[in-house]
Amino acid sequence: MNANISHHIPSEILAAYAAGSLGQAFSLVVAAHVSLCDECRAELAAHEAAGGAVLDTTAAAAVSPDLFSRVLDHLDDPVEPEPAPRARDGVFPGPIMDALKGKAPRWKSLGGGVKQCLIGGDTDGLSRLLFIPPKTAVPDHGHHGTELTLVLQGGFADETGHFDVGDVEVADADLDHTPVADAGAPCIVLAATDAPLKFNTFLPRLLQPLFGI
């Protein structure tokens, strides 16, 4: 675990994840961060316990008379064992390795040495890995929605501060920024968005549909 994490998942997002109401893209960021962060893992457990307590106090609902017998009929059905959690592989936590199906990222160049690997998502958002060479700036941009960015290797700084391995930046429509990768190792991040980015210069806007950013 990384003891130097200083930027965490907000409580309301952890609560949505615990409730199962968070989209796939954001859920991947939460799962990966929680696998690295003792503090957020403990808070997530508290949200899950609170949700369980609410269920315990919820009034019982009527069920069909044959429910008990139907449950008994299925007790001998074969059950697939739960797969063991995938261990961290280099810079990629287990949840990301699962999303990649255990394979190396398939990087696609975005220009200037920056590369991305689309992972997936659903109607609520998309997730991608970004590879940013040392001291390289990501084009100045804003946000039409929310973006969660988890640092997996290296680090970056922008107008809001510095983000190291395990840190998560939460960006919304109020933030325009120009992230710049640290010197040293290339910066690798997992980014999830629920709306397209809002680039402030012409060329990135022109290429945006091509790269699906």
For the chain, the domain total comes to: 1
pTM for the full model?
0.79
171: domain range? Answer: 1-84+92-213
Cα atoms in the Cβ-side hemisphere of radius 13 Å centred on 119:
30
* Residue 179 CB-density burial (10 A; 0-12 exposed, 13-18 middle, 19+ buried): buried
pLDDT along the chain (213 residues), means of 10: 83 96 95 96 93 53 59 52 51 95 93 92 88 93 90 96 97 90 97 83 56 60
Cβ(154)–Cβ(134) below 8 Å: yes
pLDDT of 47 reads 95
* Number of C-beta neighbours around residue 210 at 10 A: 8
pLDDT of 185 reads 95
- Residue 175 to residues 3, 50, 183, Cα–Cα distance (Å): 27, 32, 24
Residue given tokens 């199962």 in the structure block: 20
pLDDT of 50 reads 81
CATH code for the domain in which residue 139 is found: 2.60.120.10
Cβ(54)–Cβ(18) below 8 Å: no
pLDDT of 119 reads 94
